[in-house]
Amino acid sequence: MIGATLLTGVGLQFAHSRGAAGIFTAEQAQRGQGAYDAQCGMCHGTRLEGRDAPPLSGRAFTQRFETAARLYRYFSTTMPPFAPGQMSEQTCLDIMAYILSINGARPSESELTTAALTAIRLAGYGASTPDGTIPAAAQAVVADAETPQAFTWGKELPDHSPTSFEAGAPGKEVVAVIPERIDSAAETVGAVRSKRSYAPVTNAMLLDPPAGDWLMWRRTLDSQGYSPLDQINKQNVTNLELAWAWPMAETGQQQTAPLVHDGIMFIATTNDVVQALDATTGDLIWEYRHALAEIPDSWGYQRYQARRQKGSIALYQDKVILTTADAKLVALDAVTGRIVWQTQVFDYARGYSYTVGPLVVNGKIISGISGCSIAGTAGGCYITAHDVHSGKELWRFNTLDDARNPAQQASWGEVPPGNRWGGSSWATGSYDPHTNTVFWGTGNPGPYTEIVRGSRDGAVLYTNSTLALDADSGELKWYFQHLPRDNWDMDSPFERVLIDAKIDGKPRHLLVTVAGKNGIAFALDRDTGEFIWAKDTIVQNVVTGIDENGTVHINENLIPSALHDEKLICPSVWGGKSWQAGAYSPLTKLFYVPVAESCNTFAPIRGEFTAGNYVGSITAGPRVLPPGVSEAGVMDALSISDGRRKWRHSQRALVSSSLLATGGGLLFGGDAGRYLKAFDQETGQVLWHVRLNAPIAGHPMTYQINGVQYLAVPTGYSAQAGSAASLFPEIPLPSGAGNSLFIFKLRPIIEH
């Protein structure tokens, strides 16, 4: 007879033979924990509490999934979001065993199998029949959404025609909340207008920002991440106190870059929510919520894009320019939050999305699209320019298909443009006004390994490259490839920092960057693209050497020769370097960069390309530390003249925020252990620290109003920290998201 047994924990009910001890082995649950950390923990939480995805423990978990069969279907068809349906049956079962163990189920001497799934249900749904059996209705598996249609290789791309919309968008997209200035005669909240003044942000301001302002993601067009403010300095930093704090409007990954101008702070969160706050008090002035296009649940990777937007806004004249997860540009009135215009730049239904904000240069909005590893985006990944007043497109550059460059075409071998993916712009670029050049980094090729993408030993341009483009025309001036023939998902799109310096007594116009996940620092001549120097910052094994002319040699022993040919790569696919931006200080002439030590196994697989999901076609193991390394978090201070390390700060916890350098001789940054720290730029000594509510995240910045300098620090959920939690298990991560913004200032001096 089949009966129902109630186990401890949240109350899982299992229909199996009476007296059975359990339904999985302890070893299977242990394997499942490793697979869960690598594939699931980033979104579902390190302790199954739910973050960017539903919780896998507690009442919400039991109510959502009802049966183990439904839970298995969820994992086997939609997980992980960046490679749905590509986990093996055994891996899915192992993860199931781990989840069931956390929820109170007991191990046994037999492993969990698919045959046993229908006999397992979650408590709270229907009672047992008098004979102890589970009713048939309670055993029914609730079907998920239909399996998406498979992507067709080489399908001809439809025309990328931008669609513009006039001003006066639906009121539901704007909510203006001004408690002290509510117009009681207004028919709707969306019609409220603020009476405060606002000085337009001019071209001159963008080229030379007022010291107290922070007008773009790294403050200046050269992306240095430096503020000249020095009221907060090495002598008084221990006197910092909280001025005000603000809870973010959305959960998801905390990667916001606050902007400040004329006393107003502008912040953008995930899911395209923009808020304007009084920068001295934290009072809300207005809020805009973008009406994102609805997409199917099965489009896992594309849905994920809206949960990891970073630095999604820019300021110009009286406008806030927003890039959206459904591939739009939106211009908002900076005083009211009302839509001025919006343009549908790319077709979100094919997978395009913006995850980073634009630069505004001479009245042009220059931005890079993301999502180019999603199946429907084959053949086209772009950097574009639009008119800031109308949203009209002015030019576009395709990072995957440049018919004017035979070398670019040849670098893909026999792979036609319609079968090329990658080259995404995962970070905002930089601008040099002296040469009217924008510099943009690009991501890795797709599929991730050459054995799957068919490119053989080709360099696959312009992936993993720095592109120098004419700001007026989009014409390519030069390019430099930081990692040719990428086989390991080693994106190279991160911040390009422009610095003028003397090397060997000669003035040089430098572009300095830790361009990619492999953590190699490069210095190039930004006028010509000439290679100057390169240095490792972490343990890496994918590059074996770089010639004096800048030719990068990869480790061919780590190129998989067949499907499922597993290799150990360092750093891991999560990156030694990631979106967390470094900072340069003209006081020390040092470039400070946050990186991480880690490795993982990596193997190619053949997967079906489906709508809204990525084409990576790989599987990766959990992060582990490199041999002989015990600390994951690293902060390096590098000389810009030759790349030599001036100092290094290393610690167990991952550095989870961007860095901020100031005129007070300080360097600010924070970690997954929730510590915000102030370092001495010269020595790396920690001068002050405070522990906040969640991992330090996003892009810390500073500003000054009425003679008072403030320090703004985002905190919250960090996918990088979550995925690396196994590297520092003694430092527990909070179970909640905690996405917040903390503002500090100096305590007033009280004279006695």
Q: Is the pLDDT of residue 156 over 90?
A: no
Tens-digit pLDDT profile for residues 699-711:
999 999 999 999 9
CB 436 within 8 A of CB 478: no
Q: How far is CA 733 from CA 60, 99, 269, 688, 727, in A?
A: 21, 19, 21, 22, 12
Q: Is the pLDDT of residue 577 over 70?
A: yes
Number of residues written out for the chain: 752
pTM score: 0.82
Give me the pLDDT at residue 177, please. 42
Q: Is the pLDDT of residue 285 over 90?
A: yes
Count of alpha carbons within 13 angstroms of residue 718, beta-carbon side: 31
Q: What is the average pLDDT score of the chain?
A: 85
Q: How far is CA 80 from CA 40, 334, 364, 614, in A?
A: 7, 39, 38, 10
Determine the distance from the C-alpha atom of residue 664 to the mean position of all C-alpha atoms in its chain, rounded to a whole number. Answer: 30
Q: Is the peptide bond before 571 cis (omega within 30 degrees of 0)?
A: yes
CB 686 within 8 A of CB 679: yes
Share of the chain above pLDDT 70, in %: 84
Dist CA 50 CA 99 (whole Å): 13
3-class DSSP assignment, residue 450: helix
Tens-digit pLDDT profile for residues 690-744:
999 999 999 999 999 999 999 999 999 877 777 777 788 898 888 777 899 999 9
Dist CA 312 CA 427 (whole Å): 10
Give me the pLDDT at residue 296, please. 87
Dist CA 643 CA 122 (whole Å): 57
Dist CA 426 CA 357 (whole Å): 10
- Pairing of β 273-278 and β 284-289: antiparallel
Q: Which backbone phi and psi does 441 adopt, to 5 degrees?
A: -100, 155
Dist CA 238 CA 688 (whole Å): 6
Tens-digit pLDDT profile for residues 191-249:
344 568 899 999 999 999 999 999 999 999 999 999 999 999 999 999 999 999 999 98
Q: Is the pLDDT of residue 142 over 60?
A: no
CB 666 within 8 A of CB 711: no
Tens-digit pLDDT profile for residues 112-136:
988 888 778 765 322 223 333 322 3
Give me the pLDDT at residue 751, please. 67
Residues contacting residue 505 through CB under 8 Å, at least 6 positions apart: none
3-class DSSP assignment, residue 51: coil
Provide the 8-state DSSP code for 98: H
Tens-digit pLDDT profile for residues 59-73:
667 767 778 888 888
CB 728 within 8 A of CB 696: no
Residues contacting residue 750 through CB under 8 Å, at least 6 positions apart: none
CB atoms within 10 A of CB 426: 22
Give me the pLDDT at residue 60, please. 65
- CA dihedral over 95, 96, 101, 106, signed as positive or negative: negative
The full set of domains in the chain, from first to last, is: 2-139 (1.10.760.10), 164-746 (2.140.10.10)
CB 75 within 8 A of CB 87: yes
CB 437 within 8 A of CB 430: no
CB 205 within 8 A of CB 220: no
Q: Is the peptide bond before 247 cis (omega within 30 degrees of 0)?
A: no
**495 compared with 4, residue with greater pLDDT:** 495
Across 42-56, 135-149, 387-401, 525-539, least confident range: 135-149
Tokens matching residue 303: 């849905």
Dist CA 398 CA 393 (whole Å): 14
Q: How far is CA 100 from CA 51, 135, 298, in A?
A: 19, 22, 24
Provide the 8-state DSSP code for 317: B
